Amino acid sequence: MNHSTSEGKKIPSWIIFLLATACGLIVANLYYAQTLVGPISTATGLSPGAAGLIVTVTQIGYVLGLLFIVPLSDIIENRRLVVSSLVVVLVALVAATLASNAILFLTASLFIGLGSVAAQILVPYATYLSSEEQRGRVVGNVMSGLLLGIMFARPVASFVSALWSWHAIFAISAVVIALLTILLSRVLPMRQPAPTMNYGGLIRSLGTLLKNTPVLRRRAFYQASLFGAFSLFWTTVSLRLSDTFHLTQQGIALFALAGVAGAVAAPIAGRWADRGWTRPLTGLAFVLAATAFLLAYLFQDDSKIALALLVLAAIMLDMGVSGNLVLGQRAIYSLGSEARGRLNGLFMAIFFVGGAIGSSLGAWSYAYGGWRLTVLIGMAIPLLAFLYFLTEKKQS
Protein backbone atom coordinates (compact mmCIF):
# COMPACT_ATOMS: atom_id res chain seq x y z
CA MET A 1 0.00 0.00 0.00
CA ASN A 2 2.07 2.93 -1.21
CA HIS A 3 -0.42 5.67 -1.82
CA SER A 4 -0.27 8.94 0.08
CA THR A 5 -3.05 9.82 2.45
CA SER A 6 -5.23 12.87 2.29
CA GLU A 7 -6.73 14.38 5.37
CA GLY A 8 -10.46 14.13 5.93
CA LYS A 9 -11.16 10.59 4.71
CA LYS A 10 -12.97 8.05 6.86
CA ILE A 11 -10.43 5.78 8.52
CA PRO A 12 -11.11 2.00 8.24
CA SER A 13 -11.77 0.19 11.55
CA TRP A 14 -8.95 -2.32 10.98
CA ILE A 15 -6.41 0.52 10.64
CA ILE A 16 -7.60 2.01 13.96
CA PHE A 17 -7.25 -1.42 15.61
CA LEU A 18 -3.76 -1.92 14.12
CA LEU A 19 -2.59 1.53 15.26
CA ALA A 20 -4.03 1.00 18.77
CA THR A 21 -2.36 -2.41 19.07
CA ALA A 22 0.94 -1.07 17.74
CA CYS A 23 0.95 1.85 20.19
CA GLY A 24 0.29 -0.49 23.12
CA LEU A 25 3.02 -2.96 22.15
CA ILE A 26 5.56 -0.18 21.54
CA VAL A 27 4.97 1.89 24.66
CA ALA A 28 4.94 -1.21 26.91
CA ASN A 29 8.72 -1.35 26.41
CA LEU A 30 9.05 1.73 28.63
CA TYR A 31 7.47 -0.04 31.60
CA TYR A 32 8.65 -3.69 31.59
CA ALA A 33 11.70 -2.90 33.72
CA GLN A 34 9.74 -1.05 36.43
CA THR A 35 8.72 -4.21 38.30
CA LEU A 36 12.06 -5.93 37.59
CA VAL A 37 14.44 -3.33 39.07
CA GLY A 38 15.57 -5.75 41.82
CA PRO A 39 16.63 -8.74 39.68
CA ILE A 40 18.06 -6.54 36.89
CA SER A 41 20.21 -4.48 39.28
CA THR A 42 21.49 -7.68 40.93
CA ALA A 43 22.34 -9.30 37.59
CA THR A 44 24.07 -6.23 36.13
CA GLY A 45 25.93 -5.21 39.28
CA LEU A 46 24.09 -1.96 39.93
CA SER A 47 24.11 -0.82 43.58
CA PRO A 48 20.71 -0.40 45.33
CA GLY A 49 21.24 3.37 45.28
CA ALA A 50 21.78 3.40 41.52
CA ALA A 51 19.02 0.87 40.69
CA GLY A 52 16.58 3.70 39.97
CA LEU A 53 18.64 4.50 36.86
CA ILE A 54 17.08 1.44 35.18
CA VAL A 55 13.77 3.32 34.95
CA THR A 56 15.12 6.88 34.81
CA VAL A 57 17.44 6.33 31.81
CA THR A 58 14.55 4.87 29.78
CA GLN A 59 12.44 7.95 30.64
CA ILE A 60 15.30 10.27 29.64
CA GLY A 61 15.53 8.52 26.27
CA TYR A 62 11.78 8.87 25.77
CA VAL A 63 11.73 12.61 26.54
CA LEU A 64 14.70 13.17 24.20
CA GLY A 65 12.83 11.28 21.50
CA LEU A 66 9.68 13.33 22.07
CA LEU A 67 11.61 16.57 21.65
CA PHE A 68 14.00 15.63 18.83
CA ILE A 69 12.45 12.70 16.89
CA VAL A 70 8.67 13.19 17.04
CA PRO A 71 8.89 16.70 15.45
CA LEU A 72 10.47 15.01 12.40
CA SER A 73 7.00 13.67 11.56
CA ASP A 74 6.22 17.19 10.30
CA ILE A 75 8.93 16.95 7.61
CA ILE A 76 9.70 13.23 7.01
CA GLU A 77 7.42 10.56 5.53
CA ASN A 78 5.69 9.11 8.60
CA ARG A 79 5.72 5.38 7.82
CA ARG A 80 9.47 5.42 7.18
CA LEU A 81 10.08 7.36 10.41
CA VAL A 82 8.02 4.85 12.43
CA VAL A 83 9.80 1.84 10.92
CA SER A 84 13.26 3.42 11.48
CA SER A 85 12.40 4.13 15.14
CA LEU A 86 11.19 0.55 15.64
CA VAL A 87 14.45 -0.82 14.24
CA VAL A 88 16.24 1.17 16.98
CA VAL A 89 13.92 -0.38 19.60
CA LEU A 90 14.51 -3.88 18.21
CA VAL A 91 18.31 -3.60 18.37
CA ALA A 92 18.11 -2.10 21.88
CA LEU A 93 15.80 -4.92 23.11
CA VAL A 94 18.24 -7.55 21.83
CA ALA A 95 21.07 -5.71 23.61
CA ALA A 96 19.03 -5.57 26.84
CA THR A 97 18.32 -9.32 26.60
CA LEU A 98 22.03 -10.11 26.27
CA ALA A 99 23.30 -7.43 28.70
CA SER A 100 25.54 -8.76 31.48
CA ASN A 101 26.75 -5.42 32.88
CA ALA A 102 25.17 -2.13 33.91
CA ILE A 103 26.70 0.05 31.18
CA LEU A 104 25.36 -2.12 28.36
CA PHE A 105 21.91 -2.48 29.95
CA LEU A 106 21.56 1.25 30.68
CA THR A 107 22.70 2.13 27.14
CA ALA A 108 20.12 -0.29 25.76
CA SER A 109 17.48 1.27 28.06
CA LEU A 110 18.27 4.75 26.72
CA PHE A 111 17.71 3.60 23.14
CA ILE A 112 14.58 1.63 24.07
CA GLY A 113 13.13 4.92 25.34
CA LEU A 114 14.41 6.88 22.34
CA GLY A 115 12.91 4.55 19.73
CA SER A 116 9.64 3.94 21.57
CA VAL A 117 8.49 7.44 20.60
CA ALA A 118 7.29 5.68 17.42
CA ALA A 119 4.01 5.37 19.34
CA GLN A 120 3.77 9.17 19.52
CA ILE A 121 4.30 9.42 15.77
CA LEU A 122 1.47 6.96 15.18
CA VAL A 123 -1.10 8.85 17.32
CA PRO A 124 -1.06 12.10 15.26
CA TYR A 125 -0.63 9.93 12.13
CA ALA A 126 -4.05 8.43 12.93
CA THR A 127 -5.59 11.91 12.97
CA TYR A 128 -4.29 12.59 9.44
CA LEU A 129 -6.22 9.55 8.26
CA SER A 130 -9.45 10.61 9.99
CA SER A 131 -12.09 13.22 9.30
CA GLU A 132 -12.71 16.10 11.72
CA GLU A 133 -15.99 14.64 13.00
CA GLN A 134 -14.44 11.28 13.91
CA ARG A 135 -11.11 12.61 15.20
CA GLY A 136 -11.97 12.37 18.91
CA ARG A 137 -13.19 8.78 18.55
CA VAL A 138 -10.09 7.78 16.56
CA VAL A 139 -7.70 9.40 19.08
CA GLY A 140 -9.67 7.80 21.93
CA ASN A 141 -9.46 4.31 20.43
CA VAL A 142 -5.76 4.57 19.54
CA MET A 143 -4.93 6.03 22.96
CA SER A 144 -6.88 3.27 24.72
CA GLY A 145 -4.51 0.80 23.03
CA LEU A 146 -1.52 2.83 24.18
CA LEU A 147 -2.85 3.04 27.75
CA LEU A 148 -3.57 -0.70 27.85
CA GLY A 149 0.06 -1.24 26.85
CA ILE A 150 1.21 0.93 29.77
CA MET A 151 -1.09 -0.79 32.26
CA PHE A 152 -0.46 -4.39 31.14
CA ALA A 153 3.34 -3.99 30.87
CA ARG A 154 4.07 -4.16 34.61
CA PRO A 155 1.99 -7.26 35.47
CA VAL A 156 3.04 -9.06 32.27
CA ALA A 157 6.73 -8.42 33.03
CA SER A 158 6.23 -9.76 36.58
CA PHE A 159 4.47 -12.92 35.40
CA VAL A 160 7.03 -13.63 32.63
CA SER A 161 9.93 -13.04 35.02
CA ALA A 162 8.40 -15.45 37.56
CA LEU A 163 8.05 -18.13 34.84
CA TRP A 164 11.52 -17.74 33.28
CA SER A 165 13.83 -14.79 34.08
CA TRP A 166 13.95 -11.03 33.62
CA HIS A 167 15.73 -11.52 30.26
CA ALA A 168 12.67 -13.29 28.83
CA ILE A 169 10.37 -10.25 28.63
CA PHE A 170 12.94 -8.31 26.55
CA ALA A 171 13.48 -11.32 24.25
CA ILE A 172 9.73 -11.80 23.74
CA SER A 173 9.27 -8.09 23.08
CA ALA A 174 12.10 -8.13 20.53
CA VAL A 175 10.27 -10.83 18.54
CA VAL A 176 6.97 -8.92 18.80
CA ILE A 177 8.54 -5.62 17.69
CA ALA A 178 10.28 -7.34 14.75
CA LEU A 179 6.95 -8.75 13.51
CA LEU A 180 5.20 -5.42 14.12
CA THR A 181 7.86 -3.53 12.15
CA ILE A 182 7.40 -5.82 9.14
CA LEU A 183 3.59 -5.55 9.35
CA LEU A 184 3.51 -1.74 9.61
CA SER A 185 6.01 -1.33 6.76
CA ARG A 186 3.72 -3.42 4.53
CA VAL A 187 0.21 -2.15 5.34
CA LEU A 188 0.35 1.45 6.58
CA PRO A 189 -0.50 4.12 3.99
CA MET A 190 2.27 6.63 3.28
CA ARG A 191 1.91 10.10 4.71
CA GLN A 192 4.33 12.62 3.22
CA PRO A 193 4.11 16.04 4.93
CA ALA A 194 4.83 19.23 3.01
CA PRO A 195 7.82 20.60 4.98
CA THR A 196 7.92 24.35 5.49
CA MET A 197 11.31 24.42 7.29
CA ASN A 198 14.48 22.40 7.87
CA TYR A 199 15.22 20.33 11.00
CA GLY A 200 17.07 23.16 12.78
CA GLY A 201 14.16 25.51 12.23
CA LEU A 202 11.80 22.77 13.34
CA ILE A 203 13.53 22.35 16.71
CA ARG A 204 13.84 26.15 17.21
CA SER A 205 10.12 26.46 16.51
CA LEU A 206 9.28 24.32 19.57
CA GLY A 207 9.85 27.27 21.91
CA THR A 208 7.79 29.56 19.69
CA LEU A 209 4.95 27.03 19.55
CA LEU A 210 4.92 26.68 23.32
CA LYS A 211 4.97 30.45 23.81
CA ASN A 212 2.26 31.20 21.23
CA THR A 213 -0.11 28.30 21.94
CA PRO A 214 -1.98 28.83 25.22
CA VAL A 215 -4.16 25.75 24.61
CA LEU A 216 -1.02 23.59 24.45
CA ARG A 217 0.41 25.07 27.66
CA ARG A 218 -2.86 24.63 29.52
CA ARG A 219 -3.64 21.09 28.33
CA ALA A 220 -0.03 20.00 28.94
CA PHE A 221 -0.18 21.37 32.50
CA TYR A 222 -3.49 19.60 33.16
CA GLN A 223 -2.08 16.29 31.98
CA ALA A 224 1.29 16.77 33.71
CA SER A 225 -0.59 17.27 37.00
CA LEU A 226 -2.74 14.18 36.55
CA PHE A 227 0.13 12.02 35.31
CA GLY A 228 2.23 13.24 38.24
CA ALA A 229 -0.47 12.04 40.64
CA PHE A 230 -0.77 8.79 38.67
CA SER A 231 3.00 8.15 38.84
CA LEU A 232 3.10 9.01 42.55
CA PHE A 233 0.35 6.44 43.18
CA TRP A 234 1.83 3.61 41.12
CA THR A 235 5.37 4.23 42.42
CA THR A 236 4.25 3.75 46.03
CA VAL A 237 1.18 1.50 45.95
CA SER A 238 3.26 -1.67 45.52
CA LEU A 239 5.08 -0.78 48.76
CA ARG A 240 1.74 -0.16 50.44
CA LEU A 241 0.35 -3.50 49.22
CA SER A 242 3.44 -5.33 50.42
CA ASP A 243 3.84 -3.56 53.79
CA THR A 244 0.18 -3.37 54.86
CA PHE A 245 -1.63 -6.17 53.01
CA HIS A 246 1.41 -8.51 52.70
CA LEU A 247 0.74 -9.23 49.02
CA THR A 248 3.29 -11.23 47.04
CA GLN A 249 4.74 -9.99 43.74
CA GLN A 250 2.06 -12.01 41.97
CA GLY A 251 -0.66 -10.39 44.09
CA ILE A 252 0.72 -6.93 43.28
CA ALA A 253 0.68 -7.86 39.58
CA LEU A 254 -3.01 -8.82 39.88
CA PHE A 255 -3.71 -5.48 41.59
CA ALA A 256 -2.01 -3.70 38.68
CA LEU A 257 -4.31 -5.55 36.29
CA ALA A 258 -7.33 -4.04 38.05
CA GLY A 259 -6.18 -0.57 36.99
CA VAL A 260 -6.55 -1.64 33.37
CA ALA A 261 -10.31 -1.11 33.73
CA GLY A 262 -9.60 2.64 33.82
CA ALA A 263 -8.51 2.58 30.17
CA VAL A 264 -12.19 2.25 29.18
CA ALA A 265 -12.47 6.02 29.77
CA ALA A 266 -10.25 6.86 26.78
CA PRO A 267 -12.61 5.95 23.89
CA ILE A 268 -15.63 7.25 25.84
CA ALA A 269 -13.94 10.60 26.45
CA GLY A 270 -13.03 10.81 22.75
CA ARG A 271 -16.64 10.27 21.65
CA TRP A 272 -18.03 12.78 24.16
CA ALA A 273 -15.36 15.34 23.22
CA ASP A 274 -16.61 15.08 19.61
CA ARG A 275 -19.98 16.26 21.01
CA GLY A 276 -18.42 19.35 22.59
CA TRP A 277 -18.14 18.13 26.19
CA THR A 278 -14.40 18.70 26.62
CA ARG A 279 -14.69 21.31 29.39
CA PRO A 280 -16.99 19.43 31.83
CA LEU A 281 -15.10 16.18 31.22
CA THR A 282 -11.80 17.90 32.09
CA GLY A 283 -13.26 19.03 35.41
CA LEU A 284 -14.57 15.51 36.03
CA ALA A 285 -11.08 14.05 35.46
CA PHE A 286 -9.63 16.19 38.28
CA VAL A 287 -12.53 15.30 40.60
CA LEU A 288 -12.08 11.57 39.91
CA ALA A 289 -8.34 11.74 40.63
CA ALA A 290 -8.78 13.71 43.87
CA THR A 291 -11.60 11.40 45.04
CA ALA A 292 -9.38 8.36 44.40
CA PHE A 293 -6.77 9.69 46.82
CA LEU A 294 -9.48 10.71 49.30
CA LEU A 295 -10.68 7.08 49.42
CA ALA A 296 -7.11 5.90 49.96
CA TYR A 297 -6.71 8.45 52.79
CA LEU A 298 -9.97 7.64 54.61
CA PHE A 299 -9.47 3.87 54.64
CA GLN A 300 -5.94 3.11 55.80
CA ASP A 301 -6.38 -0.11 57.80
CA ASP A 302 -5.45 -3.60 56.57
CA SER A 303 -9.03 -4.83 56.05
CA LYS A 304 -10.42 -6.40 52.89
CA ILE A 305 -12.73 -3.38 52.52
CA ALA A 306 -9.71 -1.05 52.51
CA LEU A 307 -8.04 -3.23 49.85
CA ALA A 308 -11.21 -3.27 47.72
CA LEU A 309 -11.48 0.53 47.98
CA LEU A 310 -7.81 0.84 46.99
CA VAL A 311 -8.62 -1.17 43.85
CA LEU A 312 -11.55 1.22 43.19
CA ALA A 313 -9.23 4.20 43.75
CA ALA A 314 -6.75 2.79 41.19
CA ILE A 315 -9.53 2.41 38.61
CA MET A 316 -10.88 5.94 39.24
CA LEU A 317 -7.41 7.49 39.00
CA ASP A 318 -6.65 5.62 35.78
CA MET A 319 -10.02 6.71 34.32
CA GLY A 320 -9.29 10.36 35.10
CA VAL A 321 -5.77 10.24 33.63
CA SER A 322 -6.64 8.27 30.47
CA GLY A 323 -9.81 10.28 29.76
CA ASN A 324 -8.09 13.63 30.16
CA LEU A 325 -5.18 12.51 27.97
CA VAL A 326 -7.55 11.99 25.04
CA LEU A 327 -9.26 15.33 25.69
CA GLY A 328 -5.88 17.09 25.67
CA GLN A 329 -4.65 15.43 22.51
CA ARG A 330 -7.89 16.10 20.67
CA ALA A 331 -7.67 19.78 21.66
CA ILE A 332 -4.11 20.25 20.41
CA TYR A 333 -4.70 18.24 17.22
CA SER A 334 -7.49 20.67 16.37
CA LEU A 335 -4.99 23.56 16.22
CA GLY A 336 -3.76 22.71 12.71
CA SER A 337 -2.15 19.89 10.81
CA GLU A 338 1.18 21.41 9.76
CA ALA A 339 2.62 21.44 13.32
CA ARG A 340 0.78 18.43 14.77
CA GLY A 341 3.94 16.34 15.27
CA ARG A 342 5.69 19.12 17.17
CA LEU A 343 2.58 19.93 19.23
CA ASN A 344 2.25 16.28 20.20
CA GLY A 345 5.96 16.01 21.05
CA LEU A 346 5.80 19.06 23.33
CA PHE A 347 2.56 17.93 24.95
CA MET A 348 3.88 14.43 25.70
CA ALA A 349 7.31 15.66 26.87
CA ILE A 350 5.76 18.12 29.35
CA PHE A 351 3.35 15.64 30.84
CA PHE A 352 6.03 12.93 30.98
CA VAL A 353 8.20 15.34 33.00
CA GLY A 354 5.20 15.71 35.33
CA GLY A 355 5.17 11.93 35.72
CA ALA A 356 8.89 11.84 36.56
CA ILE A 357 8.37 14.53 39.24
CA GLY A 358 5.42 12.56 40.63
CA SER A 359 7.51 9.37 40.87
CA SER A 360 10.30 11.19 42.73
CA LEU A 361 7.80 12.90 45.04
CA GLY A 362 6.13 9.57 45.79
CA ALA A 363 9.39 7.84 46.70
CA TRP A 364 10.34 10.75 48.98
CA SER A 365 6.94 11.08 50.68
CA TYR A 366 6.57 7.34 51.35
CA ALA A 367 10.08 7.14 52.82
CA TYR A 368 9.63 10.14 55.14
CA GLY A 369 5.89 10.37 55.81
CA GLY A 370 4.45 6.98 54.90
CA TRP A 371 1.22 6.32 53.02
CA ARG A 372 -0.65 9.13 54.81
CA LEU A 373 1.65 11.89 53.49
CA THR A 374 1.80 10.26 50.06
CA VAL A 375 -1.97 10.24 49.52
CA LEU A 376 -2.30 13.79 50.89
CA ILE A 377 0.20 15.02 48.29
CA GLY A 378 -1.58 12.90 45.67
CA MET A 379 -4.89 14.57 46.53
CA ALA A 380 -3.39 18.06 46.54
CA ILE A 381 -1.97 17.81 42.99
CA PRO A 382 -5.28 17.37 41.08
CA LEU A 383 -7.05 19.82 43.43
CA LEU A 384 -4.51 22.58 42.67
CA ALA A 385 -4.77 21.79 38.95
CA PHE A 386 -8.57 21.98 39.26
CA LEU A 387 -8.30 25.49 40.73
CA TYR A 388 -6.18 26.50 37.73
CA PHE A 389 -8.73 24.84 35.43
CA LEU A 390 -11.46 27.10 36.88
CA THR A 391 -9.63 30.14 35.43
CA GLU A 392 -9.90 28.78 31.89
CA LYS A 393 -13.31 30.24 31.08
CA LYS A 394 -12.33 33.71 32.30
CA GLN A 395 -9.25 33.77 30.09
CA SER A 396 -11.03 32.47 27.02
- DSSP assignment of 204-217 equals HHHHHHHHH-HHHH
Q: Are residues 215 and 331 in the same domain?
A: yes
What distance in Å separates the CA atoms of residue 180 and residue 168, rounded to the nearest whole number? Answer: 18
> Of the candidates 195, 211, 246, which is a domain's last residue?
195
What distance in Å separates the CA atoms of residue 117 and residue 114, rounded to the nearest whole number? Answer: 6
What distance in Å separates the CA atoms of residue 33 and residue 333, rounded to the nearest whole number? Answer: 31
Q: Are residues 131 and 267 in the same domain?
A: no
Is there a contact between 324 and 200 (Cβ–Cβ < 8 Å)? no
What distance in Å separates the CA atoms of residue 170 and residue 174, rounded to the nearest whole number? Answer: 6
Indicate which CATH number applies to the domain containing 357.
Answer: 1.20.1250.20
Q: Are residues 126 and 261 in the same domain?
A: no
Q: Are residues 260 and 334 in the same domain?
A: yes
pTM above 0.85, yes or no: no
Closest CA relative to residue 140, chosen from 283, 281, 11, 322: 322
**Structural domain tally of the chain?**
2
Q: Are residues 306 and 269 in the same domain?
A: yes
| pLDDT for the residue 115 | 95
Closest CA relative to residue 28, chosen from 114, 146, 131: 146
What distance in Å separates the CA atoms of residue 205 and residue 240, rounded to the nearest whole number? Answer: 44
| pLDDT for the residue 337 | 64
Q: Distances in Å between the alpha carbon of 299 and those of 181, 246, 294, 304, 358?
A: 46, 17, 9, 10, 22
> Of the candidates 195, 226, 246, which is a domain's last residue?
195
Q: Are residues 83 and 172 in the same domain?
A: yes
| pLDDT for the residue 51 | 63
Q: Are residues 205 and 323 in the same domain?
A: yes
Q: Are residues 304 and 163 in the same domain?
A: no
Closest CA relative to residue 152, chosen from 247, 26, 53: 26
Q: Are residues 303 and 389 in the same domain?
A: yes
Q: Are residues 151 and 235 in the same domain?
A: no
Q: Which domain holds residue 141?
A: 1-195
| pLDDT for the residue 184 | 94
Instruction: Average pLDDT across each block of 10 residues of the chain; the chain has 396 residues. List them in order.
Output: 48 85 94 78 74 76 88 86 96 94 92 94 80 73 82 84 89 97 91 78 86 92 93 81 81 80 79 86 96 95 92 93 88 76 84 80 82 96 96 64
H or E element that contains 44: helix 37-44
> Of the candidates 164, 195, 226, which is a domain's last residue?
195
Q: Distances in Å between the alpha carbon of 305 and those of 27, 116, 312, 362?
A: 33, 39, 10, 24
Task: Give the distance, in angstroms, between the CA of residue 60 and the centroid of all CA atoms in the same chain.
Answer: 14
Q: Are residues 178 and 234 in the same domain?
A: no
Cite the DSSP H helix spans in 116-260: 118-129, 135-163, 166-187, 199-212, 214-243, 249-258
Q: Are residues 162 and 203 in the same domain?
A: no
